[in-house]
Amino acid sequence: MPELPEVETTKRGISPYIIGKRVKQINILFPTLRWPIEPSLPDILAKQTLHNIERRGKYLVLDFAVGTLLIHLGMSGSLRVLNTPGPRKKHDHFEIVFSDKHILRLHDPRRFGAVIWCENDWREHALIKHLGPEPLSDAFNGFYLHQQARNKTVAIKNFVMNSKIVVGVGNIYASESLFLAGINPKTITRKVSKQRCIKLADTIKQVLAHAIEQGGTTLKDFTNAEGEPGYFALQLNVYGREGEPCPVCQRPIKHCIIGQRATYYCSHCQR
Ligand SMILES: [Zn+2]
């Protein structure tokens, strides 16, 4: 599943080809995504210039003078920039054709992705408004995390995966960050000390920044139509490694379910 680092890498990969370009045509090939694609988009965006692309959480935010297009990659979505149309594939849902002939094409086999048109301020959109801070921003830090943690009785792993607390900490990144911070994922959130919250916030930043960096070097070319979706293989310490030796203490890594999600940890290194 594309997580924050993949979405950030996608943003960086596609931006140089399409920012500042004028839309020639919008093709809605298969409107069924998580929500149907707005049918009047071809009229709305014709001849509009794409001013900028931002990322907020796992949303790509495409900025036009007349409004904003939010794109979410869901479980299996990927974006490509093509310079010739070439044959379309099954599960290609949506295209923006620019006047210089570059095409941004959304492919999504499982259809949990979304293409959402916002006429008004996108920051006020119901999907965006309640999102917590960006993990790599200064607004997210140990003091903030500790303040939010007070009175919370959920497991710390659920807490950091809650997008109202902080965006973009998916299941794998939560397990890995808690391992590196030495915190047992089952720990009741309000019992995590300020010092450990500081360590955890720093670790989350490191893990995500490292994944983005890795993505930038290992990801396939965004202009290659045949490329696999850009979900990168990370070097993982604990995730998916039940029974294997902990990279620090060599004791077997444990597996449990927290909030219905697979969780991996070392009961010796994580207290
Ligand atoms: Zn260990």
Cα radius of gyration (the chain): 20
- The Cβ-side half-sphere exposure at 201, using a 13 Å CA radius, reads 25
Q: Tell me, what's the pLDDT at 1?
A: 79
Task: Give the distance (Å) from ligand 1 centre to CA of residue 193.
Answer: 21
Q: Tell me, what's the pLDDT at 85?
A: 86
Active site amino acids: 2-3, 58, 261
Q: 154 with 165: CB under 8 angstroms?
A: no
Fold of the domain built from segment(s) 4-124: N-terminal domain of MutM-like DNA repair proteins (3.20.190)
Helix-helix angle 194-218:171-181, to 10 degrees: 130
Task: Give the distance (Å) from ligand 1 centre to CA of residue 177.
Answer: 14
CA-wise closest residue to 64 among 102, 26, 30: 26
Q: 63 with 50: CB under 8 angstroms?
A: yes
Q: Tell me, what's the pLDDT at 222?
A: 72
Residues 235 and 253: their CA atoms lie apart, in Å, by 15
Q: Is 68 helix (H, G, I), strand (E, B) or coil?
A: strand
At the second CATH level, the architecture of 142-265 is Orthogonal Bundle (1.10)
Task: Give the distance (Å) from ligand 1 centre to CA of residue 145.
Answer: 25
Q: Tell me, what's the pLDDT at 52?
A: 98
Q: Which amino acid is at 53?
A: I
Domain ranges of the chain: 4-124, 142-265
Q: Tell me, what's the pLDDT at 106?
A: 95
Please count the other Cβ atoms lying within 10 Å of the Cβ belonging to residue 129. Answer: 10
Q: 168 with 246: CB under 8 angstroms?
A: no
Residues 231 and 2: their CA atoms lie apart, in Å, by 6
Q: Tell me, what's the pLDDT at 8?
A: 92
Q: Please give the average pLDDT of every successive group of 10 residues along the chain, which has 271 residues.
A: 89 94 96 93 98 97 98 92 89 96 93 95 97 98 98 97 96 96 98 98 95 71 57 79 97 96 97 95
Q: Tell me, what's the pLDDT at 153?
A: 97
Task: Give the distance (Å) from ligand 1 centre to CA of residue 218.
Answer: 29
